[in-house]
Amino acid sequence: MAEAADDAVTVWPKVPDAWVNILARSSPPVLKRSLDELAQFQDAIYEVPVRRVADIVESDPMLSLNLMILMGRFQTSRPTQVDNIEEALLMIGCVNFVKKAVTFPTVDALLAKRPEALLGTLRAAARARRAGMFVRQWAHMRNDRNEAACVIAALLYEITDLLAWIHAPEKMMALDQVVRENPKRKLKLTRWMEFGFEWEDLEIKLLQRFKLPDLIIAMIKPSPAEQSPSADIVARSVAFSRKLAESRDMRALQDDLYEIARMLKVPTSRLVREMKLENTPLGMAAAAAPPEPVPEPAAPPNGSNAAA
């Protein structure tokens, strides 16, 4: 069984390249739940439905990362970059992927003796999964032709944090404690003080190490020239998912909801339904608020304003 890097590291490096080696030193461990779901196909592995496997992959950011890593190795000699989970499964072979996936280590086993770190990892994975669900709905509502790529980008947007929770649990628990003690300090500054380098530098280097498709990297870390509506909704889905998990400021959450509805040019009531928030405190608060002006509908996919 793989061991957390904490077991071997006594002095943490202060350069991102060294951290890339720590976080990418082995196949990313996946959620035990994912392997349990994939295991049910082993008795009929040659009849595995691709869409069902894709759903399992999309529910686990670490499993999604493993698929993208395998895809990157598979297409080193091919000119086309695949940024769609179903297409990746078909190209690698869904049966081949399931056989490979059931051998991956699990987060649950790796962090069994560190329940706080396991909880931090599971929370981060849940936020990523929710961001992926949100961005799929939003991309579909705005007729974004990059919908499938947006889902992968949202799932992997904070993969550096997830891998740090897994391979450097004590370090991440210490960071989490400092963040709680200094709620008004910007997270970017806290990370720099704790790690000794810009966290974004590590994120970019790690995405490049994994050889993710260019479109996915451009959505997660867009340069000024790569800013796009697709990258915008990916970032918003991640930010809103995090705020839903951490914030108790209902007014601020409602304002975010209204802003997202304006961006998508749909009524807030429809957005609440699409996001399945009707029976949540936020959904009920939005329903009780005065109705928002109905925005103009989104442009059709073949129109001149269709998303790039």
Band of residue 204 on the pLDDT scale cut at 50, 70, 90: very high
pLDDT tens digits, residue range 265-305?
Answer: 999 989 998 888 888 888 888 877 766 555 555 555 444 44
Closest CA to 272 of 174, 74, 90, 134: 134
3-state secondary structure of 53: helix
pLDDT of residue 10: 63
**What's the rounded mean pLDDT across residues 40-54?**
85
Is pLDDT at 306 greater than 50 in this prediction?
no
Q: What angle do CA 80, 305, 224 make, to 5 degrees?
A: 60
Task: Report residue 245 as tokens.
Answer: 């998990």
Enumerate domains of the chain plus CATH numbers.
1-113+143-227 (1.10.3210.10)
pTM of the prediction?
Answer: 0.87
Count of other CB atoms within 10 angstroms of residue 66: 22
| Those residues with Cβ within 8 angstroms of residue 204's Cβ, 6 or more apart along the chain or in another chain | 217, 221
Closest CA to 285 of 243, 262, 247, 257: 257
Phi, psi of 231 (to 5 degrees): -65, -35
Please state, in angstroms and as integers, the Cα–Cα distance from residue 202 to each residue in 154, 196, 207, 255, 288, following that order.
18, 11, 9, 32, 44
Task: Report residue 262 as tokens.
Answer: 């304006």
Mean pLDDT for all residues in the chain: 87
Q: Write the Ramachandran bin of 196: left for phi over 0, alpha for psi from -120 to 50, otherwise beta.
A: left
Is pLDDT at 126 greater than 90 in this prediction?
yes
pLDDT tens digits, residue range 149-203?
Answer: 999 999 999 999 999 999 999 999 999 999 999 988 999 999 999 999 999 999 9
Query: Which residue reads 């550096």 in tokens?
Result: 160
Please state, in angstroms and as integers, the Cα–Cα distance from residue 278 to each residue in 137, 140, 188, 264, following that order.
15, 20, 34, 18
Please state, in angstroms and as integers, the Cα–Cα distance from residue 289 to each residue in 202, 251, 261, following that order.
42, 11, 14
Cα gap 276→273, rounded to integer Å: 5
